[in-house]
Structure 1
């Protein structure tokens, strides 16, 4: 009987039309995460006016989607490892698309908060699926680069939403943005159903081979007779799909997982705090609404560049020491931002560099998660990492709200928000001592060889 190792097949294939198709569809879904955050930020003042919300009620509204994201990633990551990435990706994408459409019908604080939480659950459930599904169809040598390019969709979505909002909101009102944020995910979910196959490794690990694997390999350019019973498909991995979350801490992965979660928490705390509060803080420092919008646009542009380039740079420069350096620089430029206000040019430049380094580091953490766990727990690993990150993201706006209410100045607030980023640099150096660099390893064998 002939044995075909699908891992070797995928690793030998270039990044071709099939991989590009999977990447493109998942990129659109990831795009809507960033667009959703920006849409809420742009629409919040108008929504508050229409629903007669108090300024203090906006903090929970911003945090609601982050808490929802955490719940979605925690719940649906393991479900995806047990029942398939594609199925969960479709369901979660439809969920956040439909909830975005229903947001236009919100008539109270509690109704809006519920819709934001449900939207976040959909986004959180989709994220580990599109990361896992995309990276599993590219060669090991390209996985970090593809993961970082995929995550570049989030700041790119923010840029697109910003430009779209500047045209749509004045002409059609804030509801137009939520219609757009709802329709695109629904269409993307349909594209996943039609165009994107289930993970071939997942199919093999769960005993579903046969014609489905034949068709997928054919799309990868590998011709295998569909009815050839003498061919057996295997993967380098031997675990059973759908392992419980506790496996993130087994077989030498405990320190890696714990430190990765801490880094995610600290990074997202600062990142979401900046996205949620920068415009308000800068306006209180004397900058106009238009100038504050320019500053946030540069933050998203910097984030897009940083996220897109993180994987390639990590392939060349390594993981932990490189990310530690990125975090240190990010902390410095973030801490300087408040002191530069209200000088628009300086604040815009510093904001752009903040997006470049702090946002870029996010992609680096996701790439580490995608490479550090085997297929059987990859969605669980990525999902839990993102969930802990979003817990930090939900905490960030609340922390800044507390600083503002206690009379901290704008420069002091930015300096304090920079501290978690600096701590994340230390976490990266600690992680470096727990195991070897991930690049050059067979990541699908786990963090370390067993």
Structure 2
């Protein structure tokens, strides 16, 4: 039969994605997502670096600054839930673009406010737009890469977020003293808006999502042909995702979907581990520059230590990612276990500033590495029909830790407690993450040993794939 006249065929979208070789389509998607999360991280963590300048301009005390930090994270909590639901309903692509455009505009709004109360409102709105982005980016990329590389790809993307936070420190030190702290948010907003045009032109929709939702066969065919050039898929073909059950895509999302079967334990443990690591990471990112000043470092040194610890966290995340793909949550649990004694030493030992800085870099690397690890696994346990919701709810529930950490820190700093003792209290957060991750790893092993075919499968590493290098 001539190729032009061939009959429609059945194409398993999941199989095409699983057997793909490295290709330009997916590499471009990862790079684009990395760029998006870079600006997300820059904007989200920028507030902690400009906080000393805000404190001076508005005469804000520690409690008020804690409330400002919490406004952004509370907004991010709502944004993760809202955009996760919108992403599963309307698609990953339009909601990612909407989120990026919105946080660019809200960043500009922060630069234009004239009072502390207006700043809190603007930061709350900014947080909503920032919180919605990452779960959507994870879902889109998870659905375009083979199972054995999912955690690795999410980790690489999250390094964009980490690097954005790293760059926020030096950029603030460079711009804020001469041009005002508002200039840094203005720069961030304008640069982010330029990214929207690139996303409109190049960002694809998830082929797996479209197939599950029975939408846009022409876009599915185009994406699969880009992944596997010799496939010859056409819009007239029938695209399916056999590893997704019909019930998963047939009904509107309900929160109870995250607690069906083995997902009940998985979801609860992910949430607990995420709360612990979010408390630690947001305490560090919110209060780090100010707290290090209180300990004895200069403002520039404090900003550089905070940024350097983020770099160390990025390296720790890179080291971890392939172990996470092979061993799952157990690999991530190593980092918080190491962080606990280091934080206790920082708070209780009589050490100089040099030793304190060294312990800070290592302990915060472990905390940041744990946070990156949580990002990499938060969405992989859920089927495509609810993946954005699953990741969105995980990141949003994690904001319980993100919101409480800066508030608790503010109230504690307002008392007579020695700044170093805060690190002793901080050690409880990696302890929570470690316990939850160890239990999550045990639950994963049980489900792999006795899978329930009626439920979404726990991602397994095929024996042949486990020996492959990245």
- Compute the TM-score of the two structures, normalised by the length of structure 2: 0.89
- 2:274 is matched with 264
- 2:457 is matched with 446
- 1:150 is matched with 157
User: Of residues 143, 158, 164 in structure 2, which corresponds to 1:136?
Assistant: 143
Partner Cα separation in structure 1 for residue 351 and residue 68 of structure 2: 27
- 2:83 is matched with 76
Cα deviation for residue 448 of structure 1 reads 7.9
Partner Cα separation in structure 2 for residue 307 and residue 129 of structure 1: 20
SS of residue paired to 1:370: coil
Unaligned runs of at least 5 residues, structure 1: none
- 1:366 is matched with 375
Partner Cα separation in structure 2 for residue 216 and residue 160 of structure 1: 34
Question: Structure 1 residues 257, 353: closer, same or farther in 2, change over 3 A?
Answer: same
Q: Deviations over 1:172-196 (max 9, x none)?
A: 2222211121122222222222101
Find out whether 1:327 has 2:336 as its counterpart: yes
Cα deviation for residue 98 of structure 1 reads 0.4
- Report the count of equivalent residues: 447
Q: Deviations over 1:67-121 (max 9, x none)?
A: 0110000111022111101111111111111000111111112210111111110
Cα deviation for residue 372 of structure 1 reads 0.8
- 2:301 is matched with 291
Partner Cα separation in structure 1 for residue 114 and residue 59 of structure 2: 10
Is the 1:70–1:390 contact (alpha carbons within 8 Å) kept by the matching residues of 2?
Answer: yes
Map of 1:372-387 to 2, 5 A cutoff?
Answer: 372-387=381-396
Map of 1:49-448 to 2, 5 A cutoff?
Answer: 49-223=56-230, 225=232, 229=236, 231-235=237-241, 236-238=243-245, 239-240=248-249, 242-316=252-326, 318-339=327-348, 343-436=352-445, 445-447=456-458
Cα deviation for residue 283 of structure 1 reads 2.1
SS of residue paired to 2:228: coil
Question: Structure 1 residues 437, 191: closer, same or farther in 2, change over 3 A?
Answer: farther
Unaligned runs of at least 5 residues, structure 2: 1-7, 461-470
SS of residue paired to 2:391: helix
Partner Cα separation in structure 2 for residue 44 and residue 320 of structure 1: 35
Cα deviation for residue 308 of structure 1 reads 2.8
Q: Deviations over 1:143-185 (max 9, x none)?
A: 1101111112222111112222222223422222111211222
Q: Deviations over 1:47-66 (max 9, x none)?
A: 33334444431111111111
Is the 1:368–1:438 contact (alpha carbons within 8 Å) kept by the matching residues of 2?
Answer: no
Root-mean-square deviation over aligned CA pairs? 2.5
- Compute the TM-score of the two structures, normalised by the length of structure 1: 0.92
Is the 1:266–1:392 contact (alpha carbons within 8 Å) kept by the matching residues of 2?
Answer: yes
Is the 1:295–1:347 contact (alpha carbons within 8 Å) kept by the matching residues of 2?
Answer: no
Which stretch shifts more, 163-172 or 200-209?
A: 163-172
Cα deviation for residue 223 of structure 1 reads 4.3
Partner Cα separation in structure 1 for residue 263 and residue 34 of structure 2: 29
Partner Cα separation in structure 1 for residue 350 and residue 396 of structure 2: 33
Cα deviation for residue 222 of structure 1 reads 3.1
